[in-house]
Amino acid sequence: MSQQQQVVVDNKWLINHLKDPNIRIVEVDYDPNTAYNVWHIPGAVLIRWREDLRHPVLRDFIEPNQFEKLMENKGINNNTIVVLYGDYNNWFAVYAFWLFKAYGHDDVRILNGGRTKWAKENLPTEQGPTEPQYPKGNYKVKKVDWGSHRAFFWELLQKVTKGEVGKTTILVDVRSPKEYTGEIRAPPEYADEQTQVGGHIPGAISFPWSQAVNPETGEFRSIEELRRIVESAGISPDKEVITYCRIGERASHTWFVLKYLLGYPAVRVYDGSWAEWGNIVGAPVKKGSEP
């Protein structure tokens, strides 16, 4: 539970810290037009997932110097406590958390329940797309740690072809059951990012990310519940765990649950996920409900 307290805050805590100058509240959205631009938590700044965190040319993330500029423009320093929340059950907020940690930010936290819980409790909001202006931050990326955070296609391909999946590595597909079986290639709301084929990576366990949250509030389930459902799915802490979804955001949610709430020692995200795997010629694919 101590790990959860360090990385997850609730609405009451945030209400009590809205005016704290050492805390920056950041909303991270897939589509700000349906979220931040309508309403947001007082004092929150906006990070747009696609426009602000994705590399402007490559399919990758912004580089360290670009991350530094983004932080400074949002009034964030290296010692700022960053509290992230957002739309889609905090998917993209947790994805941003993953990037913040890969770039070595010390204190970053997730608002439990995100926009969903804040709205349900009818807490104060600010209307419209205008962001508050803060003094420019002073930020320096001190380390870049992809090694313990990120898995690449060629690593997974090697693990699959050498039979390591299920033995030394647990590969976890956190998409919906219909995506896992190959019945659909993407959720309907993401039709613009579909892949060429449907199915899953051979050997991957199906563990839909949504099992980890309360559907009414978007909050994480209790540690006891999380441990039970994760272990019953065959995801154990004695092996390295690699999560994937379609573009990486749902995989980051499950990564967060495993690494930060349950304390699993070795968890990475394959952020290329199905959008990469399902578009590569010759990549092995399995259909149906079995790993």
Please identify every residue annotated as catalytic.
245
d(CA 198, CA 46) in angstroms, rounded, equals 34
Q: Are 262 and 223 in contact, with CB atoms under 8 Å apart?
A: yes
Would you put residue 42 in left (φ > 0), alpha (ψ -120 to 50) or beta? beta
Judged by DSSP in three states, 94 sits in helix
Instruction: Give the three-state DSSP class for 19.
Output: coil
The Cα 244–Cα 226 span in angstroms is 18
In the block, residue with structure tokens 């580089």: 63
Residue reference for tokens 């100058």 = 21
DSSP-assigned letters across all residues of 106-166: S-EEEETTHHHHHHHTT---EESSPPPP-PPP---------TTTB--HHHHHHHHHTT-BT
Q: How far is Cα 175 from Cα 181, in angstroms, rounded to an integer?
A: 10
Q: Would you say 139 and 71 are in contact if contact means Cβ atoms under 8 Å apart?
A: yes
Q: Which residues contact 139 (CB under 8 A, 6 or more apart)?
A: 67, 68, 71, 72, 76, 77, 78
Tokens of 145: 């740690």
What is d(CA 180, CA 207) in angstroms, rounded to the nearest whole number? 9
CB 114, CB 121: distance < 8 Å = no
